[in-house]
Amino acid sequence: MKKALIIRYGAYGDLLIITPVLRELKKQGYYILLNVSNKGALILKDNPNIDEFIFHEDNSVACDKLEEYWDKLKAEHKPDLFIDFCESIEVNLCLAPRDPQYNYSKEERREICDKNYYEETFKWANLEVTNCDYKPEIYFSPEEIEDAKQYIKPDHYNILWCLSGSNKHKAYPWTEQVMEKIIATNDKIHFITVGDESCQTIEPENTQTTKLSGKVNMRTSMCLTGLVDLVISPDTGVLHASGAFTTPKIGLLGHTTIENITKHFTNDYSIESTASCAPCFRLIYDVNAQCSIDLETGGVWCQATGIPIKTLTNQIQKVINKHARERLSDYNSYKMSDM
């Protein structure tokens, strides 16, 4: 059997972005070895298109020694195909401060970076495929699904809200105000908030929210994207996980675009920031040094001023009006056929 050795470290969303490529390589008959961190293996566990994981401990190899490390892997496994996805999205399409293009004008950056991450991943891998399904994949065990279902209220319209991504520029500062407006229109709305432990300080106080930040793991958060009626999330792993399912989703996109992230997702209602700085197509490491900060909320401009309360409230109501009846009437069976 042909053998493919694939390297991918990076964040949760980065791992999901390569899943269509894994699916295509498996179709072509490759035995797939995937060199990932423990975080990557956690997200991609049970994926039938991966034959073997090669675990890489974070920071175990110096950056200037990675090529040497990969050469050893190639010598050991003798792959017919080798693909290194490191920096295929970050740096390549989301510009790093060390890159001269980082300081180009916004329109120049748009010309370089306003491309779909899933499509560009195929190009990075030199795979030419017609009629490709670019949607990501994630797999859960029956036990994981049953565990996640305990947080669903069957007689409510369940909305999963991911409060933050990897940095402050992936957090929407008007969450509580939007929730209050939606709750005021419908007492059968049930919000579920997820995020890391630090998100507990920004979880809203209302009786119609189940607060799970720091209380469930990432796989449970991602599993919920296939069980709820609507997902609201910044550009982070939860949003990419929702792309694997038909669940309606609203991406809160500040530094990126619909073209970048959700173009191929089913039932996508994502919102792009209208702030003057957005989209910046930049890797953000330090929001205080790299971003303009809204004085009222302390949030970054692209989220605080570029996605107004009214805009998001109206979008949520639009999704509820369009999908509520079909979702609430079919709780026992919806989504499970997709998972």
**How confident is the model at residue 280, as a pLDDT?**
97
The SS3 call for residue 209 is: strand
Length of the chain in terms of residues written: 339
Range with the poorest average pLDDT among 136-140, 144-148, 332-336: 332-336
- CATH at 240: 3.40.50.2000
Nearest residue to 26 via CA among 1, 7, 8: 1
Same-domain status, 181 and 320: yes
Q: Domain range spanning residue 34?
A: 2-124
Whether residue 53 is contained in a domain is answered as yes
Tokens of residue 2, six digits: 């042909």
Q: Left (φ > 0), alpha (ψ -120 to 50) or beta: where does 198 sit? A: alpha
**Same domain membership, residue 159 and residue 100:** no
Q: Is the pLDDT of residue 334 over 60?
A: no
pTM (whole model) above 0.75: yes
- 151 and 120, same domain (yes or no): no
137 within some domain: no
User: Do 165 and 283 have their domain in common?
Assistant: yes
Residue 329 has pLDDT above 70, yes or no: no
State the residue for tokens 């969303």. Answer: 13
CATH code for the domain of 64: 3.40.50
Are 127 and 88 in contact, with CB atoms under 8 Å apart?
no
- In the structure, how many helices (H) and strands (E) does the chain have? 13, 10
User: Can you tell me the distance from the alpha carbon of 89 to that of 9, in angstroms, rounded to the nearest whole number?
Assistant: 11
Residue 24 has pLDDT above 60, yes or no: yes
Instruction: Specify if 78 maps to a domain.
Output: yes
**Same domain assignment for residues 88 and 189:** no
Q: Are residues 88 and 166 in the same domain?
A: no
Give me the pLDDT at residue 166, please: 75
Interval 146-160 mean pLDDT: 94
What are the pLDDT digits (tens) for 219-277?
Answer: 999 999 999 999 999 999 999 999 999 999 999 999 999 999 999 999 999 999 999 99
**How many other CB atoms are found less than 10 A from the CB of residue 98?**
8
Write down which residue in 124, 156, 187 finishes a domain: 124
Q: Which of 124, 158, 192 is the last residue of a domain?
A: 124
Query: Closest by alpha carbon to 34, among 217, 58, 19, 24?
Result: 19
In-domain check, residue 131: no
The residue behind tokens 């495929």 is 129
Q: Which of 262, 269, 235, 301 is nearest to 159 (CA)?
A: 269
Instruction: Give the pLDDT of residue 327.
Output: 57
> In a 10 Å sphere around its CB, with 0-12 CB exposed, 13-18 middle and 19+ buried, how is residue 60 labelled?
exposed
Q: What residues contact residue 159 under an 8 Å CB cut-off, 6+ apart? A: 182, 189, 190, 191, 192, 228, 229, 230, 231, 232, 316
106 plus 181 within the same structural domain = no
Which band of pLDDT confidence, cut at 50, 70 and 90, is reported for residue 326? low
Q: What pLDDT, on a 0 to 100 scale, did the predictor assign at position 61? A: 86
Q: What's the mean pLDDT when you consider all of the chain?
A: 92
DSSP state of 277: T
- Contact partners, residue 78, CB within 8 Å, separation at least 6: 3
Question: Could you read off the pLDDT of 37-66 as tens digits, one per residue?
Answer: 888 899 999 999 999 999 988 878 888 899
pLDDT at 325: 62
Instruction: Say if residue 113 is in the same domain as residue 176.
Output: no
Average the pLDDT over 82-92 and give the result: 93
Which of 124, 155, 181 terminates a domain? The answer is 124
Quote the distance between the C-alpha of residue 53 and its chain's center.
22
**Order of all β-strands in the sheet with 2-7:** 52-55, 30-36, 2-7, 81-84
Are both 255 and 187 inside the same structural domain? yes
Split at pLDDT 50, 70, 90, the class of 167 is: confident
Give domain status of residue 104, yes or no.
Answer: yes
Residues 262 and 169 in one domain: yes
Residues 198 and 322 in one domain: yes
Q: What pLDDT was estimated at residue 39?
A: 86
The confidence score (pLDDT) of residue 3 equals: 98
Domain count, the chain: 2
In a domain, 134, yes or no: no
Helix ranges (DSSP H) in 54-94? 66-77
What is the pLDDT, as a whole number, of residue 38?
86
In this predicted structure, the answer to whether residue 86 has a pLDDT above a threshold of 50 is yes
Q: Is 6 helix (H, G, I), strand (E, B) or coil?
A: strand
Task: Confirm if 103 and 97 have CB atoms less than 8 A apart.
Answer: no
Question: Residue 328: is its pLDDT beyond 80?
Answer: no
